[in-house]
């Protein structure tokens, strides 16, 4: 679902986009990503570097939005999103992306076919039951020895989107993994220390999980 704050007032959510499945939400993502100042400064460079340094391999990007993270990974993977307009935008960029229904019926929906499951800026949009169902649906597509990468916004970022319903910190990500027999093997506040996330809307929790051998 690929959320990111705007420049004009990064602490104010847009009341016009309260449904992540709405085409208006896709337009919001396009507008935010395409802002001229962001292109000139390449504000995604550190996030692109951080994702690549995790060496995620072939990724199943659930909640891929318009494909920003897949682009960071040079298209090495498949995106899934419940917003058909976002999926269409990702495809227009040359990426492989599906709605959930399309993915389930596709040749890419092979258990164990992906090195990593990426769930970036998604869990904060979901209640606990929906989160549980989403992970249960997509974790089987990760190969044995593969990983899960969970990314969620910190406080300032959480406040920027009216579709955020639940604050999910690193502990919350760890709990989400444990429910499915996985465990966190690394926890990171990026790009700055945790305290910065209370005022800087671009700070993220980045949690990497692996299957728990004792589960």
% of the chain residues with pLDDT over 90: 80
- Give per-residue pLDDT as tens, 64-112: 999 999 999 999 999 999 999 999 999 999 999 999 999 999 999 999 9
pLDDT of residue 7: 29
Distance CA 212, CA 215 (A): 5
Per DSSP, the residues of 64-86 read: -TTSHHHHHTTT-EEEE-S-HHH
φ, ψ (nearest 5 deg) of residue 74: 55, 30
User: CB-side exposure of 134: number of CA atoms within 13 Å?
Assistant: 26
pTM recorded for the entire structure: 0.88
- Which residues are within 8 A (CB) of 12 and not within 5 positions of it... i.e. 6 or more apart? 160
- Give per-residue pLDDT as tens, 119-178: 999 999 999 999 999 999 999 999 999 999 999 999 999 999 999 999 999 999 999 999
pLDDT of residue 2: 53
């Amino acid at each position: 679902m690929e959320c990111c704050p705007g420049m004009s007032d990064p602490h104010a959510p847009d009341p016009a986009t309260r449904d992540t499945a709405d085409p208006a939400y896709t337009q919001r993502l396009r507008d935010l990503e395409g802002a001229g100042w962001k292109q000139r400064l390449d504000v995604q460079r550190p996030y692109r570097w951080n994702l690549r340094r995790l060496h995620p391999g072939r990724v199943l990007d659930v909640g891929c939005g318009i494909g920003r993270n897949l682009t960071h990974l040079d298209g090495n993977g498949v995106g899934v999103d419940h917003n058909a307009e976002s999926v269409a935008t990702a495809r227009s960029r040359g990426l492989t992306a599906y709605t959930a229904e399309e993915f389930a019926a596709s040749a890419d929906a092979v258990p164990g076919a992906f090195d990593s499951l990426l769930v970036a800026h998604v869990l904060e949009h979901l209640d606990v039951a929906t989160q549980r169902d989403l992970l249960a649906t997509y974790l089987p597509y990760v190969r044995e020895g593969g990983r899960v990468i969970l990314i969620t916004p910190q406080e300032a970022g959480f406040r920027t989107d009216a579709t955020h319903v639940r604050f999910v910190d690193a502990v919350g990500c760890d709990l989400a993994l444990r429910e499915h027999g996985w465990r966190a093997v690394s926890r990171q506040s990026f790009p700055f220390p945790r305290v910065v996330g209370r005022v800087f809307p671009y700070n993220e929790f980045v949690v990497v999980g692996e299957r728990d051998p004792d589960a």
